[in-house]
Structures are given as C-alpha cells and as structure tokens.
Amino acid sequence: MPTLMLVGAHPDDIAIFWGGAAARHADEGWTVVGVTVDNGAGSPHSFEMDKESLVARRAEELAWEAMRLGYRREHFALPGVKTSATRAEAVRRLTALFAADAPQRVITHHLEEHHATHAIVAKLVLRALVDAHAGGAAMPELWLGDGWEPVHYPDLRFDVTAYMNVKMAAIAMHGSQIYDTPYLMGAWGLNLYRAGFASSHEVTDPKMVFAEAYQRVEPEDVAELAAAQDPEP
C-alpha cells in the first residue's frame, strides 16, 4: 500500500490547500499521513483567547480535520520555525518520519510562497528528505502545492471534484480560523479556478469542476533542488 505524506506549516494548511488530495488518496487506498509543524499560537484573531487556550483549540481542530480527511496525524506543535533550534528539531522529526514511513509521495508548500513560515517549512522538508535518503530511505516524488500565492507554473492539476465537500467540511473544523477569515470561500474559488484555467495548450476536462494544482519534482531532482535552498535567514 503506497504512502502519501503531507507536511503543512500550520494546523489548517493541509485542509485549506491540499485537503482534496488527502481525501482522494485515502479513498484510493493510500496510507495518508498529515504532518503539522507549528502549534498555531501566532494566528491573528479578533476574539479573546490566551495563547495556551488557542494552541489547545487548534490541536483539537486539527484532530477533527484528520478524521474528516482520513489521515494519520503527526502534530509537532513547535513554537514556530524562526530559530535555528526549532528548525533543527523540525528537520530531525521529519527525517525520522520519512525514514519510518517511506512515503512514495510528499506534498508541501511551494518555495516561492510569500508567507515566510510556509516557505521555510518547504525548505526544511527538502533538507529532511535529503537526510533521510542519505540514511538509506528511498527518495519520494515531491508535489509543491498552492498556498497563499498559487504555484506560478504548475505541471499537475489534480481533480478533486468528488472530494470538495469533504475538503470543505475539513476546513470548517477550524472554527478559530474561519471565524473572521473566509478560508472556505478562498479554497472553493481557488480550486474552481484551477479546474477551469489550464496551461495554454492543455485541454480542460468538462467533468473536472474543482482541482488542486501542483509543481512536481521527480525523485532524482529533489537533492539538486534542496541544495539550492537555505532555510536559515
């Protein structure tokens, strides 16, 4: 049974950006593992809640999301990735998971994201993949997905039409985040756009109503891409 591992920076990232892929892979018989790096304490919100309560609330929301999408949850709950120590800890844990679970496919943020934490996590994923490979793990295929900014030149549109309702339900589990930010509308619109607008010479399947877009990195190209990145400021 093949394994998909999704690595998101924050507790709601997997659902918002790649929830359709998670649900579809699970439905097609893949073992799906969802990894969240940050504890979500830095999230802006308009309601009264202390940091400890927010962290606990977001962990609970993540658990409900994982149940909706059908994946095994690995929540690092680190206090950000702004320091060398937390980045090293993230790489250590990711490397151990890549070695233990041996995923055939990994999904994470794309490297041109303007959201600093998203971009850093993508670079940490690359570093951990190289470290796990050096220890004997097979290098997986890597999909870099849409985020706050869409992937500029995606080479894969992944049909999630049949899984859009599940994705919306998973996003809705994050009540602390959708309270005053329209993530449901944003994800719906982005995936509708990705299905309707293809590359210049790509024919659009009329049955595809919703799609997630990804930049694919083949296993033999991951190490070269990782060498060009530096997660340290």
Ordered per-residue pLDDT tens for the chain, 233 residues: 899 999 999 999 999 999 999 999 999 999 999 999 999 998 877 577 888 999 999 999 999 999 999 999 999 999 999 999 999 999 999 999 999 999 999 999 999 999 999 999 999 999 999 999 999 999 999 999 999 889 988 989 999 999 999 999 999 999 999 988 899 999 999 999 999 886 655 667 789 999 999 999 999 999 999 999 865 64
Distance CA 54, CA 57 (A): 5
Q: What's the predicted TM-score (pTM) here?
A: 0.95
What number of other Cβ atoms are within 10 A of residue 95's Cβ? Answer: 21
Q: Among the CATH numbers 3.40.190.10, 3.40.50.1260, 3.40.50.10320, 3.30.1280.10, which is that of 3-227?
A: 3.40.50.10320
**What dihedral angle (degrees, nearest 10) is formed by the CA atoms of 176, 180, 163, 58?**
-10
Question: What are the domain boundaries of the chain?
Answer: 3-227
DSSP one-letter code for 41: T
Q: What one-letter code names the amino acid at 175? A: G
Q: What one-letter code names the amino acid at 103? A: P
